Amino acid sequence: MAAKVPGARKRKSDDAPAPVAEPVTEQATERGAGGHADIRLWLRLLFCAGRIESVLQSRITGEFGITLSRFDLLAQLERVDGGLTMTEVSQRMMVSNGAITSLVDRLVDDGFVVREVHPQDRRTNIIRLTHHGRERFLAMAQEHERWVAGLLDGLDDTVKATLLDGLGRLKQHLEKATA
């Protein structure tokens, strides 16, 4: 049974599936406070990420009429010169090629991106931002950054630095532990 995380939003079909909480096992309970602290930390991370994502989704949809998933895809394309293949976008966003196809279809319809045949492999498409897409993305990104800064504004710089360091260590640990 999945745990409900307060503030987390249910993802739309063009998003990656939401993480599912695993039940607390007897083994975790036997470890004592350390096991419970780990679960509490995990739930706190889920809550904070879910709440921020929910607020950003609501704002970007309301302000720009675009989903956060499409915004994320535009962000991936804006970071590189020359565009990306569908597989590269899929890997960067950690979602299936099918999900990317759906997102790209909508962005093509909106005039934000174009598909071009890969020069070395005609079976592959390169996805690129259009001039219009880049202009719209940059306007959205500026607001997105302002919204994120506003959400974190109540934390002092020391707390932010500590969180950034701790989460960086967690990321490295998880990369090693799951390799």
Q: What is the mean pLDDT of the chain?
A: 85
pLDDT confidence of residue 88: 93
Per the model's pLDDT, the better-predicted residue between 27 and 86 turns out to be: 86
Per 3-state DSSP, what percentage of the chain is helix, strand, and coil (rounded to 5)? 65, 5, 30
In a 3-state reduction of DSSP, which class is residue 88?
A: helix
pLDDT computed for residue 135 by the predictor: 97
26-156: which CATH topology? Arc Repressor Mutant, subunit A (1.10.10)
Place of tokens 């598909």: 115
Q: Evaluate whether 60 touches 144 at the Cβ level (below 8 Å).
A: yes
pLDDT at res. 9 = 42
Q: Summarize pLDDT for 100-154 with one digit per residue, the tens.
A: 999 999 999 999 999 998 888 888 899 999 999 999 999 999 999 999 999 999 9
Position 29 scores a pLDDT of 43
User: φ and ψ at 75, to 5 degrees?
Assistant: -60, -40
SS3 15: coil
Q: The whole model's pTM is what? A: 0.74
Question: Any bridge partners for residue 117, and if so which?
Answer: 125
Q: Looking at residues 77-87, what average pLDDT do you find? A: 92
- How many other C-beta atoms are found inside a 10 Å radius of the C-beta of residue 75? 15
Predicted local distance difference test score (pLDDT) of residue 121: 84
For residue range 25-55, list pLDDT tens digits in order.
444 444 555 568 999 999 999 999 999 999 9
Question: Of 19-23, 66-70, 75-79, 135-139, where does mean pLDDT reach its minimum?
Answer: 19-23
16-51 as b/e, with b when 16 or more CB fall inside 10 Å? eeeeeeeeeeeeeeeeeeeeeeebeeeeeebeeebb
Q: How far is CA 5 from CA 44, 94, 163, in A?
A: 9, 22, 21
pLDDT: is 59 or 4 the higher one?
59
CA 89 and chain centroid, separation: 12
- Domain borders along the chain are 26-156
User: CA gyration radius for the chain?
Assistant: 19
CA atoms within 13 A on the CB side of 4: 2
pLDDT score recorded for residue 33: 52
